[in-house]
Amino acid sequence: MVMKAPILESRHVTHRFGGQAALKNISFSIEKGEVVGVIGRSGAGKSTLLRFLCALETPEEGQILLDGIDLTKQPENRLIEIRRHIGLVFQHFNLLTSRTVASNIALPLQIAGRPRREQQERVNELLELVGLAGFGEKYPSQLSGGQKQRVGIARALAANPTLLLCDEATSALDPESTTSILNLLTDINRKLGLTIIIITHEMDVVRRFARRILALDHGKLIEDGTLIDFLSDGGQKKTLQPLLADIRPKLPNDVAQQMCETDSPGAAIIMRVVHSGEGVMPPFFGALAQRFTLDAALLQGGVTTISGQPVGDMIVSLRGERRDEAVEFVKELVKSMEVLGYVPHHP
Ligand SMILES: Nc1ncnc2c1ncn2[C@@H]1O[C@H](COP(=O)(O)OP(=O)(O)OP(=O)(O)O)[C@@H](O)[C@H]1O
Residues 6+ apart with CB under 8 A from 22: 15, 16, 45, 48, 219
Residues 6+ apart with CB under 8 A from 300: 249, 250, 251, 252, 314, 315
Same domain, 17 and 132: yes
Q: What is the number of the ligand 1 atom nearest to the C-alpha of 23? A: 14
53: left (phi over 0), alpha (psi -120 to 50) or beta: alpha
Same domain, 236 and 325: no
Ligand 1 mutation pick, 38, 47, 167, max ligand atoms within 8 A of CB = 47
Q: What is the number of the ligand 1 atom nearest to the C-alpha of 216? A: 21
Return the pLDDT at 22: 96
Q: What is the mean pLDDT of the chain?
A: 91
Phi, psi of 132, rounded to the nearest 5 degrees: -125, 30
In this prediction, residue 64 has a pLDDT band, given cuts at 50, 70 and 90, of very high
In this prediction, residue 31 has a pLDDT band, given cuts at 50, 70 and 90, of very high
Tell me how far apart the alpha carbons of residues 93 and 91 are, in angstroms, rounded to a whole number: 6
Q: Could you give the angle at the alpha carbon of 218 between the alpha carbons of 213 and 220, nearest 5°? A: 55
Interior/surface letters 261-273, b for 16+ CB within 10 angstroms, e for the rest: eeeeeebbbbbbb
Residue of 340, 339, 335 whose CA lies nearest to 230: 335
Same domain, 141 and 261: no
Which of 209, 244, 279 delimits the end of a domain?
A: 244
Same domain, 235 and 288: no
In this prediction, residue 319 has a pLDDT band, given cuts at 50, 70 and 90, of very high
CA atoms within 13 A on the CB side of 135: 23
Same domain, 156 and 301: no
Return the pLDDT at 282: 59
Q: What is the number of the ligand 1 atom nearest to the C-alpha of 49? A: 18
Tell me the CA end-to-end span of the chain in Å, nearest whole number.
Answer: 61
* pLDDT higher than 90, residue 232: no
Q: How many domains are there within the chain?
A: 2
* pLDDT higher than 80, residue 265: yes
pLDDT digits (tens, 9 = 90+) for 87-141: 999 999 999 999 999 999 999 999 989 999 999 999 999 999 999 999 999 999 9
Same domain, 87 and 155: yes
Which of 244, 277, 300 delimits the end of a domain?
A: 244
Same domain, 302 and 210: no
Return the pLDDT at 280: 60
Choose the weakest-confidence range: 90-104, 114-128, 280-294, 332-346: 280-294
Tell me how far apart the alpha carbons of residues 150 and 130 are, in angstroms, rounded to a whole number: 6
In this prediction, residue 252 has a pLDDT band, given cuts at 50, 70 and 90, of very high
- Torsion (CA) 208, 214, 216, 222 in degrees, nearest 10: 120
Interior/surface letters 320-335, b for 16+ CB within 10 angstroms, e for the rest: beebeebeeebeeebb
Choose the weakest-confidence range: 24-28, 37-41, 258-262, 328-332: 328-332
Same domain, 220 and 264: no
Q: Domain of residue 75: give its range.
A: 6-244
Tell me how far apart the alpha carbons of residues 159 and 122 are, in angstroms, rounded to a whole number: 9
Q: What is the number of the ligand 1 atom nearest to the C-alpha of 201? A: 25
Q: What is the mean pLDDT of residues 300-312?
A: 76
Return the pLDDT at 283: 67
Residue 337 belongs to a domain: yes
* pLDDT higher than 60, residue 2: no
Return the pLDDT at 307: 61
Return the pLDDT at 1: 52
pLDDT digits (tens, 9 = 90+) for 151-209: 999 999 999 999 999 999 999 999 999 999 999 999 999 999 999 999 999 988 988 88
3-class DSSP state of 333: helix
- Tell me how far the alpha carbon of residue 220 lies from the centroid of ligand 1, in angstroms: 13
Q: What is the mean pLDDT of residues 311-338?
A: 90
In this prediction, residue 5 has a pLDDT band, given cuts at 50, 70 and 90, of confident
Percentage of the residues of the chain whose pLDDT score is greater than 90: 74
* pLDDT higher than 80, residue 11: yes
Does residue 282 line the site of ligand 1, with CB under 6 A? Answer: no
Same domain, 194 and 300: no
Q: What is the mean pLDDT of residues 71-83?
A: 94
Residue nearest to atom 14 of ligand 1 (CA): 45
- Tell me how far the alpha carbon of residue 190 lies from the centroid of ligand 1, in angstroms: 33
Same domain, 88 and 175: yes
